[in-house]
Amino acid sequence: KTNEILRTKSEAIVVAELRKCVGFAEDMVRYVKNPDNGGVGLAAPQIGVNKRIIAVSLMRDGDDENYRTIAMINPEIIEHTEETESDNEGCLSVPGEQGEVSRWKRIKVSYIDTSLRSQSMLLSGLAARIVQHEVDHLDGILFTDRVKKIENVLVGN
For position 94, which CATH number holds? 3.90.45.10
Per-residue pLDDT tens for 108-153?
999 999 999 999 999 999 999 999 999 999 999 999 999 976 666 5
Per-residue pLDDT tens for 1-33?
558 899 999 999 999 999 999 999 999 999 999
* Assigned domain for 157 exists: no
pLDDT-derived band at 102 (thresholds 50, 70, 90) equals very high
Q: What pLDDT does residue 38 have?
A: 87
Q: What pLDDT does residue 154 have?
A: 56
* Assigned domain for 98 exists: yes
Per-residue pLDDT tens for 34-56?
999 989 999 999 999 999 999 99
Burial class (CB in 10 A: 0-12, 13-18, 19+), 157: exposed
Per-residue pLDDT tens for 61-100?
888 888 999 999 999 999 999 999 999 999 999 988 899 9
Report in angstroms the alpha-carbon separations of 38 from 57, 77, 86, 90, 102. Answer: 12, 25, 21, 11, 22
Owning domain of residue 118: 2-152
Which amino acids are annotated catalytic? 134
* Assigned domain for 56 exists: yes
Per the DSSP assignment, residues forming a β-bridge with 87 are: 101
* Assigned domain for 95 exists: yes
* Assigned domain for 63 exists: yes
Dihedral (C-alpha) 81, 87, 90, 94: value to the nearest 10 degrees? 80
Quote the number of domains for the chain. Answer: 1
Q: What pLDDT does residue 150 have?
A: 64
Q: Is the pLDDT of residue 157 over 50?
A: no
Which of 145-155 are b and which e, b meaning 16 or more Cβ less than 10 Å from the residue's Cβ? ebbeeebeeee
